[in-house]
Amino acid sequence: MSVTAAPAIGTFNPRDLLRAQVKWRHLETLFWLATLLPFLVAPSYLVLGSQIAIAALFALSLDLIVGYSGLVSLGHAAFFGFGAYTAGLLAKAGWGEPITGLMAAAIAAMVLGYLTSFIIVRISHFALIMVTLGLCLLLYEVANKAHWLTGGDDGLQGVRMWPLLDMFRFDLYGRTAYAYSLVVLFGSFLILRRLINSPFGLSLRGIRENARRMPAIGSPSSNRIRTVYIISGTFAGIAGGLLAQTTEFVALDALSFQRSAEILVMLVLGGAGRLYGGLVGALIFIVARDQLADMNPQYWYFWLGLLLIAVIVFLPNGILGGCARLLARWRRRA
């Protein structure tokens, strides 16, 4: 041992200090129970709910890169769209089984992540923004050109899904779609929550906090970056696959720059690096778009811009970051 033994610790165990952070909170149980409410109180919003769940999963996947590892991506829709086209094309070709189709989307996105990860680890900052954006634009134009395969800007028509588990048909009211999206979101969330609270998750935060120090503590950080990039891409692909399956359609804009930018906006609104930030951001963004677009379709981006500026200026850690600060202040007073 290079250090003398620690002083007598007694009943105190230092791991309790770290356990507090990973503990499942009551608020979390409440949050997930609340996701079931739409079935009871707002059955006409289940289609919207499914869109929110899908965007939430997509934002969650981006949070691994942006919030936890401190990297940037302006092209995450590449994985989302790739997963969407994989699931959509598979169903169109005659294999409409949802779960295996979703796995195919995940694997396809994983392979795309693996291939592009070689470039990603070589660059950082501004160059990374440009390269991720470039990859996304490139795929968009490929999909646009391959009209025979993807339907180009008409979108991919003729996607027919089989009933989920051979029992639940994808109905018009979005009941199956919402339940399916929610289960996939929750399952993915549990996996990613574990990942964030693991030693690997800690090393990601280390990269975010000080990439320069990581090699000096013996961390092969470029391997870590590649791994998280591939995992993040995989979950984005699952989100894309879900969209294709639940809407039985793939629009070209699944691969668009706008999709990449919007998901980043949702994450930043909710609060990056807090696990629930993407979920809350997706909820607020999509509900607000739905409500505001009903009132005033042309001006939706005006309000979005205003909201974004207000959040960035007054709540630099997003809406959840602001809530956490309020809560801390309130606790101190109590």
Partner 1 sequence: MSTPALATRALDKNFASLVVARGIEISLPKGARHALIGPNGAGKTTLINLITGMVRPDGGQILLDGDDITGLEPAARVKRGLVRTFQINTLFPNLSALEAVTLAVCERRGEAGTWWRSLPTYNAAIEEAYGILATLMLAADCERPTRQLAYGQQRLLEIALALAARPKVLLLDEPAAGVPKDESGELFKAVAGISSDITVLFIEHDMELVFRFATRIIVMVSGAILVEGTPAEIAANQRVRDVYLGQAHHG
- Residue 220 within binding range of partner 1, rule CB under 8 A: yes
Tell the smallest beta-carbon distance from residue 40 to partner 1 (Å): 34
- Residue 5 within binding range of partner 1, rule CB under 8 A: yes
Tell the smallest beta-carbon distance from residue 322 to partner 1 (Å): 17
- Residue 323 within binding range of partner 1, rule CB under 8 A: no
Tell the smallest beta-carbon distance from residue 203 to partner 1 (Å): 5
Task: Specify the residue, 6 or 40, whose C-beta has the smaller distance to partner 1.
Answer: 6
- Residue 18 within binding range of partner 1, rule CB under 8 A: yes
- Residue 4 within binding range of partner 1, rule CB under 8 A: yes
Which residues in 20-39 contact partner 1 (CB under 8 A)?
22
- Considering only the stretches 86-94, 203-211, 241-249, 276-284, report the one whose residues sit in contact with partner 1 under the rule CB under 8 A: 203-211
- Residue 289 within binding range of partner 1, rule CB under 8 A: no
- Considering only the stretches 71-79, 211-219, 235-243, 285-293, report the one whose residues sit in contact with partner 1 under the rule CB under 8 A: 211-219
- Residue 310 within binding range of partner 1, rule CB under 8 A: no
Q: How many CB atoms lie within 10 A of CB 179?
A: 18
- Residue 200 within binding range of partner 1, rule CB under 8 A: yes
- Residue 9 within binding range of partner 1, rule CB under 8 A: yes
- Residue 14 within binding range of partner 1, rule CB under 8 A: yes
- Residue 67 within binding range of partner 1, rule CB under 8 A: no
- Residue 297 within binding range of partner 1, rule CB under 8 A: no
Q: Which residues bind partner 1 (CB under 8 A)?
A: 1-7, 9, 13-19, 22, 194-195, 197-203, 205-206, 209-210, 212-221, 223-224, 227, 231
